[in-house]
Structure 1
Amino acid sequence: MAKVLKIRELGFYWETLDPFLFCAYHQDNFPKGNENLGPDAEFLKGRITGNDFTKKDEFRMYHGQKVPGFPGHPHAGFETVTLVEKGFADHSDSLGAKGRFGNGDVQWMTAGKGILHSEMFPLVHQDQPNPLVLFQLWLNLPSRSKKVEPHFKMFWNEDIPVEHIQDENANKIQIKLIAGKLCKNKALAPTPDSFAAKAENHLQIWRISMEANAKWKLPASSASTNKMLFFYSGSEIEVDGFSIEAGHSLTLNPAEEVEINNGNEAAEFLFLEGMPINEPVVQQGPFVANSRNEMMEVINTYQQTQFGGWPFDEYEKVHAKDAGRFAQHADGKMEYPPAK
Structure 2
Amino acid sequence: MAAIIKIKPLGFPWETSDPFLFCAYHEDQYPKGNGKLGPDASLEGRNIGQDFTLKDGWRMYHGTKIPGFPAHPHRGFETVTIAQKGLVDHSDSLGAAGRFGNGDVQWMTAGKGVQHSEMFPLLHTEKKNPFLLFQIWLNLPRDKKMVEPHFKMLWSEEVPKIKKQDEHGYATEVTLIAGKLDDITAPSQPLIPGQQIQIMKSLYGLSK
Query: Any conservation in 2 of the 1:95–1:330 contact (CA below 8 Å)?
Result: no
The amino acid that maps onto 2:118 is E
Counterpart for residue 91 of structure 1: 90
Deviation at 1:162, TM superposition (A): 1.7
Structure 1 residues 15 and 330: alpha-carbon distance in aligned structure 2, compared to 1, 3 A threshold: farther
- For the pair 1:191 / 2:201, whether they are aligned, the reply is no
TM-score (norm 1): 0.57
Deviation at 1:109, TM superposition (A): 0.2
Counterpart for residue 157 of structure 2: 158
Matches within 5 A, 1:9-88: 9-42=9-42, 44-88=43-87
Q: List structure 1 segments (4+ residues) > 6 angstroms apart after TM superposition.
A: none
Deviation at 1:331, TM superposition (A): 6.3
Structure 1 residues 150 and 111: alpha-carbon distance in aligned structure 2, compared to 1, 3 A threshold: same
The amino acid that maps onto 1:56 is K
SS at structure 2 position matched to 1:13: coil
Counterpart for residue 116 of structure 1: 115
Counterpart for residue 202 of structure 2: 334
Structure 1 residues 332 and 179: alpha-carbon distance in aligned structure 2, compared to 1, 3 A threshold: closer
Deviation at 1:193, TM superposition (A): 7.6
Counterpart for residue 145 of structure 2: 146
Query: Any conservation in 1 of the 2:96–2:201 contact (CA below 8 Å)?
Result: no
Question: 2: distance between equivalents of 1:65 and 1:185?
Answer: 43
Gaps of 5+ in 1: 195-327
SS at structure 1 position matched to 2:188: coil
Structure 1 residues 332 and 82: alpha-carbon distance in aligned structure 2, compared to 1, 3 A threshold: closer
Deviation at 1:41, TM superposition (A): 4.9
| Structure number with larger C-alpha Rg | 1
Deviation at 1:165, TM superposition (A): 1.6
Question: 2: distance between equivalents of 1:333 and 1:105?
Answer: 18
Gaps of 5+ in 2: none
TM-score (norm 2): 0.91
Question: 1: distance between equivalents of 2:62 and 2:198?
Answer: 25
Query: Any conservation in 1 of the 2:111–2:149 contact (CA below 8 Å)?
Result: yes
The amino acid that maps onto 1:8 is K
Deviation by residue 1:126-168 (Cα, 9 ceiling, x = unmatched): 1111111101111000110010000010000100012222222
Counterpart for residue 126 of structure 1: 125
Question: 1: distance between equivalents of 2:3 and 2:59?
Answer: 37
Deviation by residue 1:90-128 (Cα, 9 ceiling, x = unmatched): 100001101111111100000000001000011111111
Deviation by residue 1:271-292 (Cα, 9 ceiling, x = unmatched): xxxxxxxxxxxxxxxxxxxxxx
Deviation by residue 1:295-338 (Cα, 9 ceiling, x = unmatched): xxxxxxxxxxxxxxxxxxxxxxxxxxxxxxxxx834664338xx
Deviation at 1:169, TM superposition (A): 3.8
Deviation by residue 1:201-254 (Cα, 9 ceiling, x = unmatched): xxxxxxxxxxxxxxxxxxxxxxxxxxxxxxxxxxxxxxxxxxxxxxxxxxxxxx
SS at structure 1 position matched to 2:7: strand
Query: Any conservation in 2 of the 1:145–1:193 contact (CA below 8 Å)?
Result: no
* Count of residues paired in the alignment: 202
Query: Any conservation in 1 of the 2:97–2:200 contact (CA below 8 Å)?
Result: no
